[in-house]
Amino acid sequence: MMEVQEVPKKFPKPRKPESESQNFQHVKILDCNQPVCRVICECWHCKQGILSEVDVSTSQYLEVECPSCGKTAVRLMAEKVISTTPIPSPWQG
């Protein structure tokens, strides 16, 4: 009779490319049970604090433009952006 040995499987660790960014983005959503939510975030690119009011009555993919650098500050699922105001970032300092 042959002896059966159980060999534990070794799974390779996922590789992280050296160039992979360790960036993260601060986002706080207020009034999320209302038709208009307030989103406080930092721009992904320049870290400018931003207060946006967004209509969430329906949902579609939106890009919110940073009022400081003009790039996409954050991506949201909402109907439309009502207003975007630069503010001091609550996460800086």
Backbone φ/ψ region at 90: left (φ over 0), alpha (ψ -120 to 50), beta: alpha
Which strands, in side-by-side order, build the sheet including 49-65?
Answer: 27-30, 36-42, 49-65, 72-87
Backbone φ/ψ region at 15: left (φ over 0), alpha (ψ -120 to 50), beta: beta
Identify the pLDDT of residue 23: 76
Identify the pLDDT of residue 24: 85
Per-residue pLDDT of the chain (93 residues; tens, 9 = 90+): 666 666 666 666 666 655 555 678 999 999 989 999 999 999 999 999 999 999 999 989 999 999 999 999 999 999 999 999 999 999 987
Handedness of CA 48, 53, 57, 63 (dihedral sign): negative
The structure's pTM equals 0.73
